[in-house]
């Protein structure tokens, strides 16, 4: 462990899938990056004492607590890491900021624009007191996507014309996969749209440097009832033996077109029913002088088309984003050895800790995440209105 560095004492609320990923990141970042602060896994917060203690033991936390309200007021905690379902983000984040704690909040920021606006306002007020915050859109920290943003910023793609973005999972394809909090609008805010659509909205806006200015959308819930009794992680599992089924109150899939403020047009798709696609985040961005293409299921590669080369030698190049001078990768393994899903969370910690030490605004900020929340709301409004939907008359 590195000595003589100011500690960053973390209190994390929640310990399911995201809690495990964040814990890994807090443990690992100081071992591979020379951080200005030394993260300490101080307190894991969970309502169930026994389960939280087992999780703390497994994930490397020093102690546990059952009430986040007590932890945000401790003077031996510096940052609150929120890894809970979206219905608790606003209450915890605003209280923590007002208590003077930095905040890392999982995505999406909130379950509504109203909540997100309150969170962004609290974050701006807290920043005036040197209390900073970040929203956990961790896919930005995938080296290949960071490289894509660098290429856009360097002008290598020219004027951006098209954004093609998909986030494809299939863990709900089986109609007997049981209900969990992710299928409950009260807990999750929305389904595929907010859970995974938010990621591609954030990534597309961040890479292009343009914001979505308007959408036309449709959303679908293919399976409207499921067995009760799913597990907390919410990615599958088996229902209880009762045979009882309950309502799905969120979308299974969303698709929308978008206009960007820079003039580009976009096509977005987020679904949990793309049978065979496990965690396929696919982005293709076409510009006037170049294109990039990415698939998270091949996450160490960025495809790049350089429009400036002559037609005899042109074509998409597969860039192995593992060289020492690629984003983040020089801190890990020699070229060609590759990184995984968890590295994005570690890079997220690196960016956050560096910003906190500098006193600079971490990115994405709560205001950045509010913009994503506004796109989510626009998609839901458009899908509900179906105002510009033109039915096509059947021929038979």
Query: Footprint of ligand SOE on this chain (CB under 6 A)?
Result: 17, 169, 195-196, 235, 279
| Shorter beta-carbon distance to ligand SOE: residue 140 or 149 | 140
Strand (E) or helix (H) holding 247: strand 245-247
| Shorter beta-carbon distance to ligand SOE: residue 17 or 316 | 17
d(CA 278, CA 276): 6
Smallest distance from ligand SOE to CB 86, Å: 10
Assigned token pair, 157: 């793609």
Residues 6+ apart with CB under 8 A from 89: 82, 105, 106, 109, 110, 111, 115, 119
Residue 207: closest CA among 150, 257, 245:
150
Smallest distance from ligand SOE to CB 265, Å: 26
| Shorter beta-carbon distance to ligand SOE: residue 104 or 131 | 104
Cβ-proximal residue to ligand SOE, closest one: 195
| Shorter beta-carbon distance to ligand SOE: residue 277 or 326 | 277
Beta bridge partners of 39: 8
| Shorter beta-carbon distance to ligand SOE: residue 9 or 140 | 140
Cis peptide bond upstream of 119, omega within 30: no
| Shorter beta-carbon distance to ligand SOE: residue 65 or 172 | 172
- ∠ CA 122-183-376, nearest 5°, is 45
Phi, psi of 18 (to 5 degrees): -70, -35
3-state helix, strand, coil in the chain (%, to 5): 35, 25, 40
Smallest distance from ligand SOE to CB 297, Å: 12
| Shorter beta-carbon distance to ligand SOE: residue 101 or 343 | 343
Assigned token pair, 55: 């999780």
Smallest distance from ligand SOE to CB 387, Å: 29
Phi, psi of 222 (to 5 degrees): -75, -40
| Shorter beta-carbon distance to ligand SOE: residue 65 or 145 | 145
Residues 6+ apart with CB under 8 A from 295: 280, 281, 282, 301
Smallest distance from ligand SOE to CB 257, Å: 23
Smallest distance from ligand SOE to CB 71, Å: 24
Nearest 10 degrees: Cα torsion 195, 121, 212, 147: -70
The answer to whether residues 351 and 33 touch, using CB atoms and an 8 Å cutoff, is no
Smallest distance from ligand SOE to CB 309, Å: 35
| Shorter beta-carbon distance to ligand SOE: residue 81 or 195 | 195
Smallest distance from ligand SOE to CB 268, Å: 16
Strand (E) or helix (H) holding 291: strand 290-295
Smallest distance from ligand SOE to CB 59, Å: 17
């Amino acid at each position: 462990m590195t000595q003589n560095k100011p500690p960053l004492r973390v209190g994390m609320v929640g310990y399911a899938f995201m809690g495990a990923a964040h814990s890994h990141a807090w443990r690992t970042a100081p071992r591979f990056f020379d951080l200005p602060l030394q993260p300490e896994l101080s307190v894991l917060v969970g309502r169930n004492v026994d389960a939280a203690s087992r999780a703390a033991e497994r994930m490397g936390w020093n102690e546990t607590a059952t009430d986040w309200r007590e932890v945000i007021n401790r003077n031996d905690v510096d940052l609150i890491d929120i890894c809970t379902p979206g219905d608790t983000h606003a209450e915890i984040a605003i209280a923590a900021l007002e208590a003077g704690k930095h905040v890392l909040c999982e995505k999406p920021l909130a379950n509504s624009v109203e909540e997100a606006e309150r969170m962004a306002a609290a974050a701006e007020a807290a920043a005036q007191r040197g209390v900073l915050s970040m929203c956990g859109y961790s896919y930005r920290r995938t080296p290949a996507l960071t490289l894509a943003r660098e290429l856009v910023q360097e002008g290598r793609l020219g004027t951006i014309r098209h954004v093609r973005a998909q986030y494809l999972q299939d863990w709900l394809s089986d109609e007997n996969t049981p209900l969990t909090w992710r299928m409950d609008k009260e807990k999750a805010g929305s389904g595929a749209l907010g859970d995974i659509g938010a990621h591609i909205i954030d990534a597309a806006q961040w890479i292009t440097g343009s914001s979505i200015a308007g959408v036309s959308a449709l959303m679908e819930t293919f399976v409207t009832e499921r067995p009760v009794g799913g597990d907390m992680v919410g990615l599958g599992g088996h229902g209880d033996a009762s045979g009882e089924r309950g309502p799905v109150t969120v979308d299974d899939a969303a698709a929308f077109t978008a206009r960007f403020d820079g003039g580009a047009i976009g096509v977005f798709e987020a679904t949990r029913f793309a049978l065979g696609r496990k965690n396929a985040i696919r982005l293709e961005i076409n510009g006037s002088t170049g294109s990039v293409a990415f698939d998270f299921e091949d996450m160490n590669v960025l495809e790049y088309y350089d429009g400036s080369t002559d037609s005899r030698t042109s074509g998409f190049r597969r860039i192995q984003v593992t060289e020492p001078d690629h984003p983040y990768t020089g801190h890990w393994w020699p070229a060609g050895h590759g990184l995984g899903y968890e590295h994005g969370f570690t890079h997220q910690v690196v960016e956050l800790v560096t910003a906190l030490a500098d006193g600079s605004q971490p990115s994405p900020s709560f205001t950045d995440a509010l913009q994503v929340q506004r796109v989510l709301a626009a998609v839901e409004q458009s899908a509900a209105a179906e105002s510009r939907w033109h039915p096509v008359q059947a021929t038979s």
